[in-house]
Amino acid sequence: MSNTFYITTPIYYVNGAPHIGHAYTSVAADVLARFKRLDGFDVFFLTGTDEHGQKVEKAAAEAGLDPQEFTDRVSADFRAMGATMGISNDDFIRTTEERHKSGCAALWARLEASGYLYRGEYEGWYAVRDEAFYGEDELTLDAHGIRRAPSGAPVELVREPSWFFRLSAMQERMLAFYAENPDFIAPAARRNELLRFCRSGLADLSISRASFRWGIPVPGDPDHVMYVWLDALANYITAMGFPDETHPRWRFWPADLHIVGKEIARFHALYWPAFLLAAGIAPPRRVFSHGWWTVEGEKMSKSVGNVIDPRALVAEFGLDPVRYFLLREVPFGNDGDFSRRSLISRLNSELANDLGNLCQRTLTQIARQCDGRLPHVGPATEADSALLAAAGALVPLVREKLDRQAFHEALEEIWRLVRAANAYIDHAAPWALARTDRTRMGAVLRVLADVLRVLATVLQPFLPGTMALMLDQLGVPAEERTLAALANPLPAGTVLPSPAGLFPRFVGAAG
């Protein structure tokens, strides 16, 4: 079994500023990358920007800029968004980089050599907003007589020479691939959708455009640029050194997990493995497609003016509460609604009250009653053993949930332990024991400190900043913060720094 774990976000279109939807995909992938690192895996986490195609070319023209200058700017903005969100990516790829362009040309050459490409003419519908081709039968006419794709994007008629990929020839192979890899695409609803689409018959895919220039030239046919989706998907291998299979990064391929939004599931779970299989390259192991956020019940859009800038949220609420909210509020895979009220309520009740107070109550007692030193492990009562057993069972539970990308379930398991620890401290009342039974008081505080250590350790991927502080306060050395290190008890007598609050309550207005 290889110990590598390669995870990616989609590469973001640079036609506009980053918003909460992009931050969501990135934070989800980041939590998994961080968890795998804590769990001892050799992790590679990739993100980046998708910079070619008509949509970006158009946005550059509207901004009055040369496309390269425009993409330089917007790409830098996405990089900055990642830094604000605490994204721990190992690389950031841009499709305008030389390494990507040459890798893409190599992929094209392999597809051509394997007989999967041919030149023809495309006539059909194209939505620039989605950078996608649509069949006549998929379109609807709106009240103004405008033809729209299922996504709502307006389409235009395209008639031009084009290179095609023989997707039709891949149909049986793809169905066999899905049957052999039942976990390849999740959640189940997406898988069923994809199977239906695939069974209904696959048409060949147009993979070049000849009516604009902002793309990677087709090798040997410079009047054409590669279809932006072929170009973009290839980022997952070009960043790993493709076509140089002796590149040190190539050991990470095939990717373990592509995290993507639901609207781009088909590109990742059908076109991408089909291209790879046709080119003789191993397909990725899994694609998870998450849902979409609305804002206070409405679709997020520039025209409504309700686009949420993740950086403004972080400035107001702090990074960790925002990360927590994004993954706790909505089961991953479902659509969800963003509202300030629910963010504030989760911040105050789950982070400040449940977790923050538990930590504060325990550490204040240790500071006051134990001279700030970690107490000895005492003889365990039934209540102690039950709580410690629950803490001991937490890591495998969370691992299992995160291996299925069920973030909300992982957090629910963690909070089950937080609530159990709160019930335990209320019942054991170490503040009262301080007057009646100091030995027992020490034992109780030690149980709590050990449980808090488990909580802070598994929560690091979700709440990296605050959990680092919590582990400092619990006296856990930096090299003892992995999941495996939980097996090593902290020495009694460890001097703990004075406790400080972790999550300030939010007291401003909700609306």
Distances (CA, A) of 317 to 91, 313, 402: 28, 6, 25
Instruction: Using CB atoms within 10 Å of the CB of residue 169, give its burial: 0 to 12 exposed, 13 to 18 middle, 19+ buried.
Output: middle
Query: Which SS3 state, helix, strand or coil, does residue 299 take?
Result: strand
C-alpha closest to that of 276 among 238, 333, 312, 221: 238
User: 2 or 68, CB closer to ligand MSP?
Assistant: 68
In the complex, which residue's CB is closest to ligand MSP? Answer: 261
22 binds ligand MSP (CB under 6 A): yes
User: 72 or 263, CB closer to ligand MSP?
Assistant: 263
User: 318 or 336, CB closer to ligand MSP?
Assistant: 336
User: 47 or 362, CB closer to ligand MSP?
Assistant: 47
Hey, which residues between 257 and 296 contact ligand MSP (CB under 6 A)? Answer: 260-261, 263-264, 292-293
10 binds ligand MSP (CB under 6 A): yes
Part of the chain binding ligand MSP (CB under 6 A), chosen from 8-16, 58-66, 212-220, 430-438: 8-16
11 binds ligand MSP (CB under 6 A): yes
User: 285 or 399, CB closer to ligand MSP?
Assistant: 285
Label each residue of 380-415 as H, E or C: CCHHHHHHHHHHHHHHHHHHHHHHCCCHHHHHHHHH
User: 225 or 428, CB closer to ligand MSP?
Assistant: 225
Please, what is the minimum distance in Å from the beta carbon of residue 265 to ligand MSP?
9
54 binds ligand MSP (CB under 6 A): no
Contacts of 45 (CB under 8 A, 6+ apart): 6, 7, 8, 29, 30, 33, 88, 89, 90
List b or e across 275-306, with b for residues whose CB sees 16 or more CB atoms inside 10 angstroms: bbbbbebebbebbbbbbbbebeeeebeeeeee
User: 49 or 466, CB closer to ligand MSP?
Assistant: 49
| Candidate list 30, 50, 57, 256; residue touching ligand MSP; CB under 6 A | 50
Q: x-or-dash pattern for ligand MSP, window 221-250, by CB under 6 A?
A: -----------xx-x---------------
User: 94 or 191, CB closer to ligand MSP?
Assistant: 94
Residue 229 burial (CB count, 10 A): 23
Part of the chain binding ligand MSP (CB under 6 A), chosen from 5-13, 158-166, 356-364, 403-411: 5-13
Q: What is the full DSSP assignment across 227-267?
A: -HHHHHHTHHHHTTTTT-TTSGGGGGPSPSEEEEEGGGHHI
| Candidate list 5, 6, 7, 12; residue touching ligand MSP; CB under 6 A | 12
Please give the structure tokens belonging to residue 85. Answer: 């969100």
479: DSSP letter: G
Please, what is the minimum distance in Å from the beta carbon of residue 97 to ligand MSP?
15
Please, what is the minimum distance in Å from the beta carbon of residue 232 to ligand MSP?
4
91-94 and 42-50: which strand pairing? parallel
User: 11 or 358, CB closer to ligand MSP?
Assistant: 11
Please, what is the minimum distance in Å from the beta carbon of residue 38 to ligand MSP?
24
Q: How many residues bind ligand MSP (CB under 6 A)?
A: 19
Please, what is the minimum distance in Å from the beta carbon of residue 76 to ligand MSP?
15
Part of the chain binding ligand MSP (CB under 6 A), chosen from 11-19, 36-44, 138-146, 276-284: 11-19
Q: Is the dihedral of CA 422, 427, 432, 438 positive or negative?
A: negative
Alpha helices in 89-150 (DSSP H): 98-113
User: 90 or 354, CB closer to ligand MSP?
Assistant: 90
Contacts of 509 (CB under 8 A, 6+ apart): none
Contacts of 238 (CB under 8 A, 6+ apart): 93, 99, 100, 102, 103, 104, 107
User: 185 or 363, CB closer to ligand MSP?
Assistant: 185
Q: x-or-dash pattern for ligand MSP, window 292-321, by CB under 6 A?
A: xx------x---------------------
21 binds ligand MSP (CB under 6 A): yes
217-218 and 257-261: which strand pairing? unpaired
Helices 382-403/20-38 angle, 10° precision: 120
Amino acid at 229: W
Please, what is the minimum distance in Å from the beta carbon of residue 295 to ligand MSP?
8
Q: What is the full DSSP assignment across 39-62?
A: TT-EEEEEEEEE--SHHHHHHHHH
Please, what is the minimum distance in Å from the beta carbon of residue 288 to ligand MSP?
10
Binding interface with ligand MSP (CB under 6 A): 10-13, 21-22, 24-25, 50, 232-233, 235, 260-261, 263-264, 292-293, 300
